[in-house]
Amino acid sequence: MNIAVKEGKMLEEALNKALIELNANQSEVIYNKEEIAGKLFKSSTVKVTVITKRDLLNDIKAFLKQVVEGLGIKVEIESNIREDVYNLKMYSDNNPILIGKNGQTLKAMETIIKQKYLKDWNIFLKINLDVEDYKAKRIAYLEKLAIKTAKEVKETKFDVTLENMNSYERRIIHNKLTDFKGIKTISEGEEPNRHIVIKAEK
């Protein structure tokens, strides 16, 4: 990675030095800063460690590839940055293993990446990790399930309990049925066995 480490009396001074070295503007980089206490007769300074978002994305990609291939799975990764979200899409010869049950392995790898860069850079990155188009297909399935079940509940007046889901998937169900008249949705249970119950309004 191409990293610039600079010091200055103020943050702006140190950051400008780093931006010149990296030939980048501030919107293209991320950085962390450290206050350096001044010694006798010397004032304190600010130290910054700066990397471009593009270099960081390449580092994340290399780290992910190392993790996956450490499992004995060959993988190709497409990546981009959109609105400060680091998107990585994997293509492998064993997609079910990378996805896991209801996307649990995928979610775990997202967490590993976030924790690594939180530790290394003291920043919380927005990571969107996918395997081919699993997430888009999963969202479409959940939305279809929500509408289908809501119609049944409204007609029969019997409550229906859906399968256990993580908070992201439960939010998809809740949002899809927000404006569906005649039913309401509630979440019940404790993680990891939390689920949605679709009820008919009385």
Give the SS3 label for residue 37: coil
pLDDT at 170 over 90: yes
pLDDT at 2 over 90: no
What is the structure's pLDDT at 202? Answer: 77
Percent of the chain with pLDDT over 90: 78
What is the structure's pLDDT at 41? Answer: 61
What is the structure's pLDDT at 101? Answer: 85
Tell me the average pLDDT across 23-50.
85
Q: How high does pLDDT run on average in the chain?
A: 92
Tokens linked to 112: 């590993």
What is the structure's pLDDT at 187? Answer: 95
Distances (CA, A) of 43 to 7, 11, 33, 40: 12, 14, 17, 8
Q: Which of 93-102, 147-156, 176-185 has the weakest average pLDDT?
A: 93-102
Tell me the average pLDDT across 96-116.
92
Give the SS3 label for residue 199: strand
What is the structure's pLDDT at 172? Answer: 96
Confidence of residue 38 (pLDDT cuts 50, 70, 90): low
pLDDT at 40 over 70: no
Tokens linked to 48: 């910054």
Distances (CA, A) of 4 to 13, 31, 93, 122, 124: 13, 9, 38, 16, 20
pLDDT at 36 over 90: no
